[in-house]
Chain A
Amino acid sequence: MEPIKITLVIQIAAVGLLVAVLQTVLEQAGKGEWAMAVTVAGLIVVMFSLVELITSLFDAVRAMVQF
């Protein structure tokens, strides 16, 4: 009975909200191109932690059904 890792999802959501707020602020300040850059940076950061999770999940599945 391993506990569910809720911290990861909260982390991702926090990054998402932060990016959304930054985007709004930067667009209000008239820096649309920076807003885009911030969004892409946030996406990449989150993706790195997700890749780890998905890799471990697929490894577990693969070990289970013996691909």
Chain B
Amino acid sequence: MNIVQVVGFTLTCSLLLVLVRRGSESMGLLVSVGATGVILTAVVAELPPILGALEGLSARAGVQAIYLRTVLRVIAVAYIVDLGAQLCTDVGEGALAKNLQLAGKVIILTMAVPIIVSVADVIIQLLEQVSGS
């Protein structure tokens, strides 16, 4: 992924979008979805080394792998949901975008429940130790 390449691609896509949107709005949405998909595919291909480094760091810090994985999942869901919501907003469907964001929040919450529960467990144990001693 070359930054000049990405910028050039995005500008070209914007130009095409302006052109296509004047013809038909729905095709404009498809063009922007396509451009987003292409850019994201290029970005995702660059990510594995970074994730590997993060995993190595967290292993050295003694963090359990499942916590890092959950955080990564949450970030991925947040990005995807935000992307979809932004695309919806671009074609004027703000209400759908809000629904999508709500769905994303619920999904993130369901993924985060195990972590919340384990944090609560730790706190409860601490409180019991304090009150016991």
Contact = CB atoms under 8 A, between A and B. Distances in A.
A16 B34 CA distance: 12
B95 interface: no
Contact of A50 (B37, B39, B40): B37
A49 B9 CA distance: 19
B51 interface: yes
A10 interface: yes
Given A8-B34, A64-B44, A20 B51 contact: no
Contacts of A6: 9, 12, 38
B45 interface: yes
B73 A23 contact: no
Interface in A1-30: 1-6, 8-10, 12-13, 15-17, 19-21, 23
Contacts of B35: 9
B71 to A, nearest CB: 9
Interface residues of A, number: 36
Nearest to B39: A4
A53 B69 contact: no
Given A4-B6, A65-B73, A16 B30 contact: yes
Contacts, number: 106
Interface stretch (B16-24, B56-64, B96-104, B124-132): B16-24
Given A13-B19, A20-B20, A65-B72, A4 B27 contact: no
Nearest to B75: A65
Contacts of B72: 64-65
15 contacts: A1-B2, A2-B1, A4-B5, A6-B9, A9-B16, A9-B34, A13-B16, A16-B20, A42-B27, A47-B30, A53-B37, A54-B33, A60-B41, A61-B80, A64-B44
Closest 5 pairs between A and B when the two form their complex, measured CB to CB: A20-B23, A16-B27, A13-B16, A16-B20, A53-B37
